[in-house]
A and B are shown apart, each in its own frame.
Chain A
Amino acid sequence: MNAIKVVEESYRKEIPPFSIGDTVSVSIKIKEGEKERIQVFTGIVIGRQGAGIRETFAVRKISKGIGCEKVLPLHSPLIDSIKVTKEGVVRRAKLYYLRDKKGKAAKVKEKKFIGK
């Protein structure tokens, strides 16, 4: 089992800590023919699944009035960077209920900084 961990570790990346309900900007490398460009996908993290090298996360955003979700492997080499822009307060591990909400109801409460 140890050898598997060694293999997995060599493919792992540094990931900033983020949790469900946070708003993240994911920079995704996109190859178009020869050229490679970076597309930023900003949205709410509605779920994380799996562990170790197999972990994936789902980001949801409303693009021009249409809901759009991306499920990405956390350690994918196609992810250039993940930036946490907002931290959210949620009581659930999977925010699938956001899919049925519109407008203000589809918002996640932002975490306000409370001193020690």
Chain B
Amino acid sequence: MKGIIGKKLGMTQIFNEDGRVIPVTVLEAGPVRVVQKKELAKDGYAALQLGYDENRKEKNVNKARKGHFKKANVPNYRVLKELKMEGYEVGEEITLDIFEEGEFVKITGTSIGKGFQGVMKRYNFSGGPASHGSMFKRAPGAIGMGSTPGRVFKGKKMPGQMGNVKSTVDNLVIVALKNEQGLMLVRGAVPGAIGSYVVIKSNSPISVKDK
């Protein structure tokens, strides 16, 4: 597997050779550096800890983190993420050159938070009529049976926090790479607000086959 950490910069549209309009999300992908190597013998699993976004004031980094970064001889990163990758040494830089145009990726981000929402917005319940003396407008309605079972089932769709959860989109095509600017253009939407951090991973062949 290969992957990189990036930032969502927003959406726009571009034209392909046929003159068709393609909606694209512009991402800043990398560069990242390996901060730590997790080893099977020592940590029980093999992974690379990657650091991204060195635009951080020194006073905002606590001493423990500072030591951690100093050990690897890397700048004070904002984001640390572990990915199951191999073949890189501590301190080594990874850029978006590891990806090619036309490749499929899956992108993980934190979806935009919508706050505490009712069932109509959160789960697309129909609700009731708005007018004509209707006294049932946006309520969820019945949430279960009577004395049998005498309780509400677990997982019942009810009002609550919507959004602001980890979300992954599979099989996004890399439309273009702008290596000198460090930008990646993928077709379609990516979870998260503008400026939020995302993890871009190559799509495993299994999930491509599933589709």
Measured CB to CB, the residues of A under 8 A from B are 1, 3-4, 6-8, 10-11, 29, 31, 53-54, 73, 75-78
* Interface footprint category on B: 10 to 19
Contacts between chains A and B (CB distance < 8 A), count: 43
B15, CB-defined interface residue at 8 Å: yes
How far apart sit A57 and B96, CA to CA, in the bound complex (Å)? 37
In the complex the two chains form, is A78's CB within 8 Å of B9's CB? Answer: no
In the complex the two chains form, is A76's CB within 8 Å of B9's CB? Answer: no
In the complex the two chains form, is B13's CB within 8 Å of A78's CB? Answer: no
In the complex the two chains form, is A78's CB within 8 Å of B12's CB? Answer: no
Contacts A3-B183, A6-B183, A29-B19 supplied; 18 other A-B pairs, CB < 8 Å: A3-B9, A3-B26, A3-B28, A4-B10, A7-B24, A7-B26, A7-B178, A11-B14, A11-B15, A31-B18, A53-B12, A53-B13, A53-B14, A54-B12, A73-B15, A76-B19, A77-B15, A77-B17
Q: Known contacts A3-B28, A7-B178; decide if A76 and B15 are in contact (CB<8 Å).
A: yes
Instruction: Provide the main secondary structure of the chain B interface.
Output: strand
In the complex the two chains form, is B185's CB within 8 Å of A7's CB? Answer: yes
Q: Known contacts A53-B12, A53-B13, A54-B13; decide if A3 and B181 are in contact (CB<8 Å).
A: yes
Q: Known contacts A8-B12, A11-B14; decide if A78 and B26 are in contact (CB<8 Å).
A: no
In the complex the two chains form, is A78's CB within 8 Å of B19's CB? Answer: yes
